[in-house]
Structures are given as structure tokens and as C-alpha cells.
Structure 1
Amino acid sequence: MGSLVLKRLAAVVAVAVGLAAADVGAGERVVVSLDGTWQIAEGSLGQPPAEFAHTAPVPGLADLATPPFELPGATVSLDDRGKPWLKPADPRREAFWYRRTFQVDRPLPAVALLKVHKARYGTKVLLNGQAVGEHEPCFTPGWLDVRAHLKPAGAENELLIRVGASLAQVPPNLTDGWDNEKSRYIPGIYDSVELVLCGTPHVVNIQTVPDVEQRSVRAVIELANAGAAAGPIRLKGTVREAKSGRVAGNAELDASAPSAGTTAKVELTIPIRDAHLWTPEDPFLYELEIGTGADVARTRFGLRTFATDPATGRVILNGRPYYLRGSNVCIYRFFEDAERGTLPWDREWVRKLHRRFKAMHWNSLRYCIGFPPELWYEIADEEGILIQDEFPIWYSRAKDGWPEAITPADLAVEFTEWMRERWNHPCVVIWDAQNETSNDRVIAAAIQQVRGLDLSRRPWDNGWGTPQQPGDISEGHPYRSSRPGFRLGNLARETGIPDNGPRRNAGPPYLINEYGWLWINRDGSLPTLTVDVYKRLLGENASVEDRRRYYARTLAAKTEFWRVRRQCAGVLHFCGLGYSRPDGQTSDNFTDVKTLEFEPNFFRYVRDAFAPVGVVIDFWEDRLAKGATASIPVRVVNDLEADWSGQVVLRLMRDGQAIFEQQKDVRAAGQELGSAEFELSFPTEEATLELTAEIRGSDGQPIRSVRDLRVADLPKNHALGARVKASSEVRNAQGFFPAALAVDGREETRWSSEFADDQWLEVDLGRAVPVSRVTMAWEHACGRAYAIEVSQDGSAWREVWRTESGKGGMDEIRFAPVEARYVRFRGDRRATPHGFSLWELQVFER
């Protein structure tokens, strides 16, 4: 019964393809979609299966097969996720084979090309039992000439596409999409498959180069000749408004066709009447049509330019400064999410997702460590979202940060295919070569080989490698909550320039595209990276609602901080879409990913923090002494070109009642800050307070900034700024880590000893004082066996506390009260191959 159904399905598809192909005439091109339900079978790489007993959607992944296969792809244990050299295999099969049939119901044209937009892991194509060719890269389109293998008009063609079952099938000289925080690598044809039929000379590629000042588009056209006689041709270029179809410009050019079997490039500039620019706020699209007389090719574009200004650290959109606000999409992580299903290929769901993102006041996204299906870029063009397009490279834990077999030439081939596919999308504004990989030996060389191909000269982001020319992005991931001792008050000592990112030559423009480290799964459970964070910040008994509220309000405050310092070209939260599971490391912020419902606290607080005209309480202390007074600066952040004027209302709330309320007039010029200062006196008794600033945003709706404050007796840290010395201090490629950084009050600086046991750090408190508590905030390089010692004279030491089982994180050490002028940490044995490293050491009386 199943095979009968499959044969009927194939017949229906063949008729549809035949009718479409029948429209091919002189000078026309037909692009036939081969998407739909295919047959699929598992097997070896070398031989097609004898039977196809399963079906699966194309585009899609092999885990969507009916009936299902047993766990298709490779699974990586938590312990092995930092080992990209393992290239895990699928233990059950080497390959999946996809099969379908189709007909072409007319004489075959001169050109017939099969395009497999994206498939992993590598593709091999057979047509009518004959090998057509292979395309081994996993993230870029494969183009295969199938003309010689097609049967005559009306005959049934059998198409087989083989994909590797796992990373083990990816050649060692190609990238494989490794991600240190993924557990599943599922194969499949995850983007569309098309048959392109046309005459020749024909268009191989068009690169549009918009000129905003001249209100024109330059078309760089790559022509090929599949066998026609060489001779003069007249190229016709027409620009139409994509939505209305109205002709907005045209031009013609007499040229010579390339000789048979060769390619050539020609250029055509087309003025655009009543030109309409593309922006995220007004994503106006055009369609460019190029005719050769034997072929007509079409591509969409926007009249949009994008650059950076190293002097100001800003991005420049259509010649004007522009601030990026946004998030990340980790589509390959979402591929392994339990709720994924067919959602990534559901155009309505994808459009709604991008609209939900825009409802957060986001104008930009990083498509992070992987490329979604092509329809995502089409929708980003239509909805108006700027895309930082990140190639799926994350080899930070490989030797030298890079797999040895991949050369610059190998990587340049993949980069070239990527750029040629994407360069006409107005949404794509940054070529992002990789994530958090510091290797400069291969990636940098590949960037230099290919960057000149993009005639629009978009900037590049080289992850944590060296920026390759002025104006390239320095991306930062200033995760602060992961550090023991984090609290919002620490931000007051930051400059607003992220301190992690490129290892060398970092400089403006800076772009923060990850920060937070406060993830909560959709169901309220915690991913692995934040279990200890919430224990430290809220205690083990905090409720799900407590955590969600803390997450949202703290992330909002961090967003405000990075925006108001105006040191960065953009701030992008991590992440808008990913996976959500207990053994995962991160999560998105939906409670229901199918209906795209945001967690309510996240939507309420974080949305306001990203408002184009926002308000920021630029006061970061979250602990105040009883009866303290303070001047509270409130800033209005204006990302828009138009000036903003209005009132700022500041309220201090206690138990839901306002104990202070005042309003002031503020003006924020276009793309500038406006400010007001408020003088507050805080209660003389212990209290938990909420400080709120409110404005009316550019749309007239209320926008708020919120801080949680605690008024209490504050213990004195006797070690803050004290004289300090250590057994050793490290200076290496990452910087200098002197002892003084352990007592400077800044949780983003640290001391590190040399990489050896038996080290110490000694603090001189200046005079003898009572002490009974020491806190130590460990970097990853923590101690296993260590002690706390005290002394009156710096010579005779007494041990007051020790452990043989240190675990890092935040040490809260208590001992019987004792008078001491000197306090010493003594490290006997390390827990890692590195040294002993402390973000901060504090000493208290109680």
C-alpha cells in the first residue's frame, strides 16, 4: 500500500513539473520547485538503497521521516562538546538517500541546472542512474549541470540525492558546523531544491550594487554560454517595484556573448525613478530583471548602503549613523529542539517570529553559528531586519583554534559560495566569519582572499580573531553574571567598552552580540550554565517566578548600561531563538515557541530597554547605607534622527507605595542623550525599594527603567584598594594579571599566579582590625587545596581556615573572629592546569 501511495505521489509531482516546464520559451527562464514529500532510505555512502520505505519533507531534516528512523545523526555527550576533533559518527548508518521522480513535458532547453540550496552533510546527485556530481560543503548551495542526464520530454526522471549521516562524512578540509553547546547533529536537505531551465547565453549570477546618492543600481552580471554560437547580444535590465510591479528604471547594453563553454562579466547601471530607500523602518524592495535574449534572470534588492565609521564607532546606514538593537537566532541549535518539528520551513511561522522580534524594538539579528533556510533572508528583507550573517565556525577549543586540514584556500571556496548566494539581500549587512575563534592563521587569510568580491564593501566580523582592516567589527561578549561576585553595582566601574573579543587590535566599531548569562529554559528549569549562577544570586529556594523576574530586570538593566555608554555600534541580546532543554547550556525567552509567546517578564522589561527612545536610570549601586543620600542621573537615549522632548518621572517605591516622586523636562537631540539629575534621601531603616524612571517613547507609549535597591548596614571591605603582593603574577598574550587586580573592587579584572602549585596572595589591611570573613571570587583557574592565614606583622602566620576540596565559584569563608593586619591566601594545590586566579578577594569584620 505504501509503495502505491508513493508512486501516485511521484506521478502528481511529475505532472506539476511538466506543466511548469512547458512555459519555457525563447528568452524565458523557469525555476521549478522540487520541494515536497520525497522518499528516503538509510544506507551506505557507496550504494543507493534497494528500497525506499520512508518519506520525508524537503526541505527538512531526516528526523521528520515517516515512519521515523532510529535517532538519525550524531549525538555528542556533555563531556565531549568541547572536542571538535572527534567528528562524531552516526553508529547506525553512513548516509541518507532521498528519491523523487519528475517529468519535463517539452523539448529540453540548452541549460538545465539543479540547485540544492543547503544540505548536510554533503550531497551527491544521481539522475536516472547516472552520477551527476557532488557538492561537499554543508552550508552553501550546490549547482549541478543535469542537462546531459535528463530524459526526453514526457519521460519520467528519477532523482537521487545522498547526504552524509553525520559529521564523520564531512571531508576534513571543510567546515562541519561544530558548536561547543550542541548535542545533536541531524542530517538532511534542509533548504529547497530547484530545477532551473533556460536558454543560453544565460545568467549565472547577478550582483547588485546600490548607489544611494545617485539613486541607481549597478548590476554586475556573470554570463555563461552552454554551446550557442558566440556573437553580439543585447542585455536588457529592468527595475520594478517588488510589490506593485511598477517599472522604476531600465537600461540596455550591447555586449558580446562569451564563447562556448566560458563565462564573462558585464556591467549595467540602471537609474531608478522616484527612488525609495530600504531601511528596517521602511523595507522597500525592488526586483531587477536581466535578459540576454535567451534567458531572463531576476533577483530582489533594496536601495541600501551599509558601512562603518571607525572614528565614531558607528554603523552608517544609507549615509547616516544608525544604532543596532537586536538579538540572535541559533537555527542549528533550534534544529535539535524538541518543539522544532517543521517550524523552520513554515513561512507564516518564520514571518511571525521576525515580527515578534520587531515588537521587542529589535532592528537587527545575528544569524548565529549557522545559516537558516533561504526563506528566512527573504522574510528579513520584507520585514526590515538587518542581519549579521555568521558562518557556522566555532573551533575555539581545537588545537590552535583551528582544524589543521582546513587551509585558507579551502575556506575561501566556502566563503565565496556563501557571498554569491547572499549579496543581493538588503538585510545582510555584516559578513561574520566565525564565532569566538581566535585563530588568525587561516580565517584572516581567507577573509582577505574574498572580501574584494563584495562590491558593496560590507564590513567583516572576525569573531575573536584580529579585525582585518579599519572599520571591521570588534565583537564583544561581556558576560558578567557568570563571574562570582557579580552585582549590578559593579557596572558603575565599567567604561562601556566590552573587555573580551578580538585578542589583538580590538577597536571601534564595537558590537556587543552576546551578554547576559542568566538563561532560564522555557519551562522554568535552568540550563547547565546558570544553575550555580541562580544559587549564588537568589539562593537554592528561589521560585521560577523569582528567577524570571530577576532575569528580565537584570538583563534590561544591562541592556540599558551598554546602550547609554554609547561606546558600541549595537547591542544584541543572546538569544532570540535556540534550544531549550535541561542539559543545554542556554535558552531563548519563549514560553511557547510554537505560538511565539514571550515570557511575560522578559517582554515587559527587556522590550522597554531596547526602545528606540529609551530611558535609563544611570545609577548602578544596588546596596545603600541607611539614611544615604544620592544624586540619581536619568538619561534619555535617543537612537532616532528626530529630537525628543518630554518629561522624565522618577519614583521611589516601597511596598507598592511611592515615597518619592518628581518629574523634570528633558530634551534629547537626535541620536544623542538627554539628562536630568534627581536628589534622593533613602530611608534610615532597612528597606527593599524599587526605583523607576518613566518617559513617553517615540510612539507615545510609556517606557520604563527599573532598579531594585536594598537599604541596610553595609559591612566594610578592608581589602578594597589595600596594598597587596603575591608569590607570582602572570603576563601573557591575554594581558597582565597583577596582584592589585584582586582587590580593586572590579569584578571584571583579576590576579593570576604562574601555572604552578604553592602560590600565595597577601593583603596588608594597613592596621590591625577584627576579621572573621573572607570572600574569594574565583576565575575558572581555581584552587583545590588552599588556606586562609592571618598575621599581625607579616612574618608570623596562623592558619584560620583551609579546604582540600575547593570547587571554585564564590567562596564565602567564615572563621572565629581574630585581630589581624595581614590576611593571606595560600594555594597548595590547583584544580586546573592553570594557576590560581581570583577576580576579587574581600576581607570583612563580620
Structure 2
Amino acid sequence: MLDIKRVLKSKPRKPEHTALRTMLTPWGEKIAAGEKDLPPASHPSPQLARDAWTSLNGAWECAFVFAHDAATAWRRATPPYGGWQPIRVPFSPEAPLSGVGRQLQPSELLWYRRSFEAPALSADERLLLHFEAVDWACQVFVNGVPVCEHVGGYLPFCADVTSALRAGANQLALCVFDPSDAGAQLRGKQRLERGGIWYTAQSGIWQDVWYEVVPAARVSSLSLDPRPEEGRLVLTVGVEGAGVLEARLLDEGRMVACATARAAPGHEARLVLAVPDPHLWRPSDPHLYDVELSFGADRVRSYCGFRTVEVAADEAGVPRVRLNGKTLFLRGVLDQGYWPDGLMTAPSEAAFAHDILAAREMGFNMLRAHVKVESRRFYALCDRLGMLVWQDMVSGGGAYGAWQTSYKPTLLRASWGLTTDEGTRAARRLSADDPGYRREWREACAGTVALLGGHPCVVGWTLFNEGWGQFDSRAACDDVRAMDSTRLVCAASGWYDRCCGDVRGVHNYFRPLEVWRDVAARPRAFVISEFGGVSWSVPDHVSLRTAYGYDTAKDGEAFSREVTRLLDQALALRGAGLAGYVYTQLSDVEEETNGLLTYDRRVNKLAVGGPEPAPES
């Protein structure tokens, strides 16, 4: 039975042009106050780390420049003479912590600049410049020389800028184009007109900028493939230069395996390290092994965890998720990864740790990283703290039609199995008819799988969410399985299921919770991949006077009671075949007040007694 009251309450509404109330997290408060005592961040690339690296975060300048054809001008533009203002990197200009408070428009280019002192390099050294994420397309200059360009807002990239350097001060500049939802590119939940489930669009640099000095002959890439059932770790390593590559595997400082191989540029080296009885990684015991690589003068640190994940039938023939051969019920919570002071940028590594630990303390064992790729530090923390991650691919495409992505699937559940995502007409209906978008989605999907493939915490992929830009999900599922056979795939979370993948993920906000019959030929685990959404606006901890959610609690006691009732109801469905759930959601975000934590992370709403002490930074 459809709950009409809930449906009407969650009906999409026209955005109100009301300014968000400025809110600071405990970590953002320290940054805004100029305090210098925040703990130093760990390495921005934790699975390909060298001891020496230099952060370029901090004080930059930015300028907004109108362009008649910004979509092409970013490749050939020259820096403006005036209009420069300070910006705190890595926060986007739309984020309060940037100090700018200005939204980039689709008809504008966003310029950045700063100077840095390059260290003296020997003849056999190179300087690599790294950007962890820039939204969306950018051209990078060092001393006026173009050193690289990049398209895509969620994945890291780097460039060897050695030939553009000069002695002393060097000028680094960046030209960015980002149309946000005026374009069809990948953007997740960003919108120029925020409201309801859609959040403030942001642009430009939003993750770390850093550089490192490396030997000319060096390790350039590393893929980790732990195979516990085979008792071995397989490393695939790319190099610059030729020589002998050595790998060592250590367990709490004790070497347990080593291997060597000849390596040459253009040919990836494969090393196999025997680990006959590996200590398995699991949430209650997140055991990690250290990996060390040596190649000439280059030294690289990494790590790995051994674990298996699969869907297999239990004694009654019901498909279940199994971790290391044992049934594991997924107790997930939807993690939007937004912050009132940093938007998509967490104000501190400690802020990531706070959210992970808060989720665990509330009884969850999994975070669903929702249509956003996080900082690599986030996944490293989940590895170390034992938090499972179900990773969404970032959504994109044209403007979403409310009928196809909301009204029809909400009112007509029968449409879920009758709506195809294959062919030209389907692509048009689901806002996936732009060939550039489809190409970018495929490339970013492959890039995300490669980027996160070494993290034991990541146990599954969601390819499409609620029909947003969905296309050819069967083919996409086959492609991801070919790239990564060690994780589960949910091809379409929400509604338009094409009977593929390992998991059937349904969203159920408006009907009684239950396990529905799966008509797929291959048995799949049934997961309620979104539900709940109870709203409670905690006074003095909200961004807006308006609130969005699927049900409203009058106070903390009512909120806690209703959330607990829904979670217990979902848990009781295990006997009916439920393999897991994802509750909506971990924290409030802007108008959405259906989080278990307030947007500023200062109140745990399930703690009826009131605000918890502010977390340590």
C-alpha cells in the first residue's frame, strides 16, 4: 500500500532562493579562526606513497572571467590582469571556508594562481604536480607553460612539470570550466538551483594539491590484487625507466614474502607474493599488511588487506552476502559526503574519522558513498577502522525529468521492470542521450574501479541511481565485472532494474518494507538500498527555515523512536530473505534534515538527551 501522505510530503518543489545560514563544523571553526594546530594530514595517496611530499593547499588567488564560449575557451584562455581575490584551497569558491562565497556560472571561467618555491633538482630527478580533484575541466600552467589538461571532476591526475620549472619562485595557474547541471557531465547531486535532495553546485579545486620529487626511474602505478583463496598477492606495477623491481610484504613489521622482477617502461611488471594463510580483513578485525616497493633509487609504500566478498545461497537457498565465506548482513547508511563549511570537501581528515566512527557507534557496518568519489584518505580510514563501503558511480546526463525519475516509479512500481535503458528512445527518456556524457561515464567508471581497487573496505559498486542518466546497465555491469571480479555489483539502485548484477537494490520510502520476488535468472541478494528519511530540524543546527524529508518528527524523542522502529523493521526481514539495508541518511545536508547527525556534526539526533560533546579535532 502506497503511503500517500509520505509521497505528498516529499514531492519535489521549486527551489527557494534563500541564503543558507553559515554553519561551521568543529574543524571548520578552527580553520576559519586561523588556528595552526590541526593535526597534520596523512599522505594524500596512501596506496602509492613516498616519504617526502609537499602540500600546496592554503593561500591562493582566484578570478572569475566571463567567456562567450566558456565550454571551449578554457583550453585557449589567458589569465586576466585584474579581478584577483584570495581563496583558501582546497575549498571551492562556493564553500564558506574558501573565503570567497561566489558561485561560478556556466558562462564564466575560474582562474587560480599561486607561487611556490621549487626545490633544486638533480639531473635524474623529476617534480610531479598532483591534483586530487578539480571540478570539472581545467588547463594547468607552470610559469605560463601549459603542462596538462584534465576533464572530469572526481578523480586525481598529475603531471611531470620539471621542464617548465625555473630556479626560485614559480608561478602555478589553473583555468577551470564547470557548467554544473547546465551541462551533461558527471556532477552527482550538485545543482545551480539547490533545494530538496539537490545541493549547492561547486567548482574548481576541491581536493588536495601537492607535489613530490621523484627519481626519473620510478614506480608510476600500482595495482594490488590480494587473493586469499589462492594464498597470494598479485602486484601489477608500471614504471618509468628500466631495472629490477623488488616488492616486500610485511605483517606488523615482519617480512612474510618478497619477489623481484625485471621492469621496463611500456610494460607492466607482475609480481606474485606467496601468503599461504593470510590474516583476513573484516570489520571487527581490519587487519592490513604493509607493502614496500624498491626500483632503483625509488621507494614506495602501500598496503593491502585480504578478504573475499560474494553472494551465495544459505542453507535455505536464500542469496546472502558473504564476507570471507561467512554470511554478513549489511547495515548501511547513506553517506552524502557534504559539509556546511566545505561542501564536498571535508574540513579535516579528523572529520572523516568522526563520521565513520559515529556510523559504527550507531550500529552500522557500511557506508554507501553516494554518487561521489571521496578523498583517498577517506577510503584509507575505512580500511583501518573496519568500515565497509558501497561505492556509487557519479551520476550525470541531461536535465532529469520528474516523471521518469520520481513520479512514475513512485506511483507505479510495475514500471520498474518494464522500463528499459537500452536504445535511443530510452536514453532520451533517462537523460542519457548525450554521447559525451556516456563516454565520460564509462571512462570515469573504469577510473573509479582502478582508483579504489586496492581498498579492502570497498565491497561493492552501484552503477546507476534512480534512473539518473541510466543507460545500457547490463553492458556496464559486464564491463565492471571484467575489470573487477572481487566485488559485488548493483547495476541500478532504486527502480529500473535490468535483472543483472549480484544485488537487487530497491528504494522504499513509501510502502511497507518487504522483500519482493526477484525474477532475474541468476540469484541475487535483495537489499533495500534506500529507506527511512525521517526528518527532524534541530534548532540552531539547520541551514534553512524550510526542511525536507519523507516524514517529520516533532522532537528528538519522536525522531529516535521512529528511526529505531524503521531499523528494527528492516532487520526483522532477514528471515524473509533481506540481505541488507541502507538507511537515509548519515547527516543533514542543507534543506534535507533527515540525517542522524546534524549538518554541522555537533548533534547526534539519536542521542535523545541532546547534543553530544563536540568531537575532538
TM-score (norm 1): 0.55
**Residues 6-35 of structure 1, C-alpha deviation per residue, up to 9 Å, x if partnerless?**
xxxxxxxxxxxxxx9xxxxxx988443323
1:296 corresponds in structure 2 to 299
Q: CA deviation at 1:148?
A: 2.5
Which residue matches 1:477? Answer: 507
**1:598 matched residue in structure 2:** 605
Residue in 2 that maps onto 1:32:
54
Q: Distance in 2 between matches of 1:424 and 1:562?
A: 31
- The whole-number CA distance in structure 2 between the counterparts of 1:301 and 1:596 is 35
Q: TM-score, normalised by structure 2?
A: 0.74
Q: For 1:462, what is the secondary structure of its paired residue?
A: strand
Say whether 1:163 aligns with 2:163: no
Change (3 A) 1:317 1:469: same
Shift of 1:469: 4.3
Q: Aligned match of 2:442 in 391, 398, 412?
A: 412
Letter of the 2:187 counterpart: D
**Cα distance in structure 2, aligned partners of 1:65 and 1:556:** 34
**Whole-Å separation in 2 of the counterparts to 1:498 and 1:61:** 43
Residue 249 to residue 351, structure 1, CA distance change in 2 (3 Å): same
Provide the aligned C-alpha RMSD in A.
3.4
Change in 2 beyond 3 A, CA 1:522/1:120: farther
CA, structure 1 residues 57+302, in 2 after alignment: closer, same or farther (shift >3 Å)? farther
Q: Is it true that 1:556 corresponds to 2:564 in the alignment?
A: yes
**Which residue is equivalent to 1:497?**
515
**Structure 1 alignment gaps of length 5 or more:** 1-19, 21-26, 74-88, 484-490, 535-542, 605-846
Asked whether the 8 Å contact 2:95–2:202 carries over to 1, the reply is no
The equivalent residue for 2:225 is 209
Correspondence 1:98-247 to 2 at 5 A: 98-107=113-122, 109-151=124-166, 154-167=167-180, 172=184, 174-178=185-189, 181-221=197-237, 223-225=238-240, 228=241, 233-241=243-251, 244=252, 246-247=253-254
Query: Aligned pairs, how many?
Result: 512
Are 1:319 and 2:329 an aligned pair?
no
Q: Deviations over 1:544-590 (max 9, x none)?
A: 32xx434432332222222222122212211002414xxx3453122
Whether contact under 8 Å (1:438, 1:503) holds in the other structure is no
Distance 1:102 1:569, change over 3 A: farther
Q: CA deviation at 1:68?
A: 4.1
How far has the Cα of 1:269 moved from its partner? Answer: 1.7
Distance in 1 (alpha carbons) for counterparts of 2:598 and 2:182: 36
Amino acid at match of 2:89: V
- Change in CA separation of 1:97 and 1:410 when aligned onto 2, cut-off 3 Å: same
CA drift of 1:466 comes to: 3.8
Letter in 2 for 1:527: A
- Cα deviation digits, residues 585-607 of structure 1 (max 9, x gap): 45312247343533434999xxx
In the superposition, relative to structure 1, how do residues 31 and 460 fare at CA in structure 2: closer, same or farther (>3 Å)? farther
AA partner of residue 295 (structure 1): D
Query: What residue identity is the alignment partner of 1:182?
Result: W
293-302 vs 185-194, greater mean Cα deviation = 293-302
1:587 and 2:587 are equivalent in the alignment: no
- Deviation string 1:52-81 (CA, Å, 9 cap, x unpaired) is 7433332222135789435323xxxxxxxx
| Residue aligning to 2:309 | 306
Q: Report if aligned partners of 1:94, 1:169 keep a CA contact under 8 Å in 2.
A: no
Tell me the SS of whatever aligns to 1:278.
coil
- Kept after mapping to 2: 8 A contact 1:280/1:386: yes
Q: Does 1:516 align with 2:505?
A: no
Give how far 1:322 is off.
1.0
Structure 1 stretches of 4+ with a deviation exceeding 6 A read: 502-506
Match runs of 1:288-687 below 5 Å? 288-309=291-312, 312-331=318-337, 334-335=338-339, 337=340, 340=342, 344-393=346-395, 397=401, 399-406=428-435, 408-437=438-467, 441-454=471-484, 456-463=486-493, 464-466=495-497, 469=500, 472-480=502-510, 491=512, 496-498=514-516, 508-523=524-539, 527-530=547-550, 544-545=554-555, 548-566=556-574, 567-580=577-590, 584-591=591-598, 593-601=600-608
CA distance in 1, matches of 2:519, 2:170: 54
Partner in structure 1 of residue 100 of structure 2: 69
Question: Aligned in 2, Cα 1:556/1:168: closer, same or farther, shift over 3 Å?
Answer: closer
Measured in 2, the distance between the counterparts of 1:479 and 1:267 equals 48
Letter in 1 for 2:81: A
Alpha-carbon contact 2:91-2:205 (below 8 Å) kept: yes
Residue-by-residue CA offset, 1:524-543 (whole Å, 9 max, x unaligned): 8762444xx55xxxxxxxx8
Which amino acid in structure 2 is aligned with residue 360 of structure 1?
A: M
Secondary structure of the structure 2 residue equivalent to 1:39:
strand
CA-CA distance at 1:388 after TM superposition: 0.6
Counterpart AA for 1:369: V
Higher strand share: 1
Give 3-state SS (helix, strand or coil) of 2:584's partner.
coil
Partner of 2:267: 264
> Does 1 or 2 have the higher relative contact order (CA < 8 Å, sep 6+)?
2
Closer, same or farther: CA 247–108 of 1 in aligned 2, 3 Å: farther
Code of the aligned partner of 2:103: P
1:238 to partner: Cα distance = 1.0
Partner of 1:819: none
Match runs of 1:777-816 below 5 Å: none
Contact residue 597 and residue 604 of structure 2 kept, 8 A: yes
Task: Render the CA deviation track for 1:147-181: whole Å, top value 9, x for unaligned.
Answer: 33223xx43221112333541686x4x32324582
Deviation at 1:359, TM superposition (A): 0.5
> What letter corresponds to residue 479 of structure 2 in structure 1?
Q
Q: Using the alignment, how far apart are the partners of 1:343 and 1:130 within structure 2? A: 29
For 1:576, give the aligned amino acid: L
Could you say if the C-alpha distance between residues 60 and 108 of structure 1 is closer, same or farther in structure 2, counting changes exceeding 3 Å? farther
Deviations 1:188-234 (A, max 9, x none): 3111123243234432322211122344321122x243xx4x5xx32
Aligned to 1:612: none
Does the Cα contact within 8 Å between 1:40 and 1:54 map onto a contact in 2? yes
CA displacement at 1:385 relative to structure 2? 0.5
Q: Supply the AA of the counterpart residue of 2:236.
A: V
Percent identity of equivalent pairs = 19
